[in-house]
A and B are shown apart, each in its own frame.
Chain A
């Protein structure tokens, strides 16, 4: 990164990234302040007011138990956002460990670790996660564990290829020449140079993780039935088809968050990719 001025210049050339960042921030603030913002308690039932269309009392209407949909949507980010972040973080840690060792050691270790990674890559994420989540018992923690188990191989792959491309660089040679230990070379000399691409991938990935998490929870393999979680709320709408607001609003919440994250991820990739940077000038 050259200096603040060029960064600002590129931001202006990439308005979508700015929009995405703002939307992300707004959702983070909403999730943290949900207690103050929500007009009702997300679990408060009112049988008299069940399945009411959006009105001035209930801007997003009410669900089958008379709970305020708006309040539940505002609270929903408290589950989905940390879940997505957690899955990607743990996947990145595990994947980096595997990929770094495989790439640095090379030879038999590389072969062995990468074959192991391939095995996990061959499973479709949602089916394996579904099996794990179902077997461990459906709740948020288990859904996150299940997803992390299937999420790390991509990071292992990308970090491995980065480490391989960096490890023959001159500065790594010189670190070796002055007698640094392999662990030190890997952790201090090589890995910091591989962080940026992995981070871009992670940003692009959080949205994906939120999508899959919502999918699991839609299938009933995430949070418990009553909890205000977006995927779960969309699935409530299946049984009440005429009441469109039940599934439309929580779905929109997932959609806007993921879209904003994609804007940011795209922008970050453009900023860090020297090829597109050259074109910007």
Chain B
């Protein structure tokens, strides 16, 4: 199958998936007993039937569910995700505002975890059952076992309050003015503005949250890389490569790692979307103005248009990441191209 045909097929299959996602998130955010009127009107206003009726009418809550859904989808196709009940601003606008912070954090997190995970995994597999393997395996287990919110608190407690080697919560120091918005990523925007001090400040603020957020995936990637490397290293072609007299380093890096990376790519893809949800906890603790915090606040106030918006957005990211992973597979594995 050529890549074009394959891609087209995948893209077409995405449509029912996205419709399904919209139905499920719509059902969950609407068909449950909770009442947004109580959560969003004050106690006195909620006791007044006229105000409640006006509120329900204004937000379309007095219409049957399927009508609400169709209206929502019609607007969605025009790029309109409705208005946040809590802030009275368009959801699309808010998502656009908060998304870059989360992308910046999640990307930094995935960088940390891929670099650490692949290096640790390879080292651990090459020196299997040696002390270093044991240490790495314990470290990776710590990574997948420690609650992210706890790591964050301990990190702040030790590295910020005690030793003062990292700055406190937030994306920049309190008195610093953010760079002019180009991408919304402070690291990129500060470079665009040519302000190295600001760039440094944003990197410093990114460091601890990224480490904390990446810890879990780093552990996961280490474990997958290790077992995948072990499997590849026992293959005949590795023995062949060795018996040709190639240096061990070349055998490991060029012959083994490349083939061992396939399952790792899958995990990285899956990790990215799990990082986005891990971001909820990390962002809450680090006062990081991103999608996770936004989702949390939306859930607490039963701001349905906002919850829908976030769910749809993250599900979309998941679907697209999966597609990218499949394309990478196609590119990494010649058998898929010629088979």
Contact = CB atoms under 8 A, between A and B. Distances in A.
Given A115-B16, A127-B295, A255 B25 contact: no
Which one of B16, B276, B302, B307 has the highest number of Cβ atoms from chain A below 10 Å of its Cβ? B307
Interface in A222-251: 231, 234-235, 237-238, 241-242, 244, 247-248, 251
Contact of A215 (B25, B33, B148, B314): B148
Contacts of B273: 124
A158 to B, nearest CB: 14
Max chain B Cβ within 10 angstroms of own Cβ: one of A119, A221, A255: A119
Interface in B133-158: 141-142, 144-150, 153-154, 156-157
Contacts of A119: 17, 20-21, 23-24
Interface string B25-68: 10011001110000000000000000000000000000000000
Interface stretch (A49-57, A66-74, A258-266): A258-266
Given A127-B314, A131-B307, A247-B153, A215 B147 contact: yes
Contacts of A238: 153, 285
A218 B149 contact: yes
B307 A122 contact: no
Interface string A190-221: 00000000000000000100010011001111
B267 interface: no
A134 B34 contact: yes
A67 B114 CA distance: 42
B212 to A, nearest CB: 13
> Which of B33, B34, B153, B273 has the largest count of A CB atoms less than 10 A from its CB?
B153
Interface string A256-278: 00110011001000000001000
A124 B24 contact: no
B284 A134 contact: no
A229 B300 CA distance: 20
Contact of A123 (B141, B161, B284, B315): B315
Contact of A135 (B24, B28, B280, B284): B28
B259 interface: no
A234 B315 contact: no
B144 A262 contact: yes
Given A123-B21, A132-B28, A244 B147 contact: no
B281 interface: yes
Give the interface centre of A130, A220, A234 by most chain B CB atoms within 10 Å. A130
B107 interface: no
Interface residues of A, number: 48
Interface in B286-310: 295-296, 299-300, 302, 307, 310
Q: Is chain A's binding surface mostly helix, strand, loop or mixed?
A: helix
A28 interface: no
A266 B220 CA distance: 13
B214 interface: no
Contacts of A247: 150, 153-154
Interface string A125-149: 1111011111111000000000000
A254 interface: yes
A215 B142 contact: no
B329 interface: no
Nearest to A279: B234
A201 B43 CA distance: 47
A200 B149 CA distance: 27
Nearest to A244: B157
Interface string A98-139: 000000000000000001101111111111101111111100
Contacts of A244: 157
Interface of B: 16-17, 20-21, 23-25, 28-29, 32-34, 141-142, 144-150, 153-154, 156-157, 161, 231, 273-274, 276-278, 280-281, 284-285, 295-296, 299-300, 302, 307, 310-311, 314-315, 318-319
Interface of A: 115-116, 118-128, 130-137, 207, 211, 214-215, 218-221, 231, 234-235, 237-238, 241-242, 244, 247-248, 251, 254-255, 258-259, 262-263, 266, 275
Given A123-B25, A214-B149, 6 more contacts: A118-B20, A124-B314, A127-B314, A241-B156, A258-B146, A262-B141
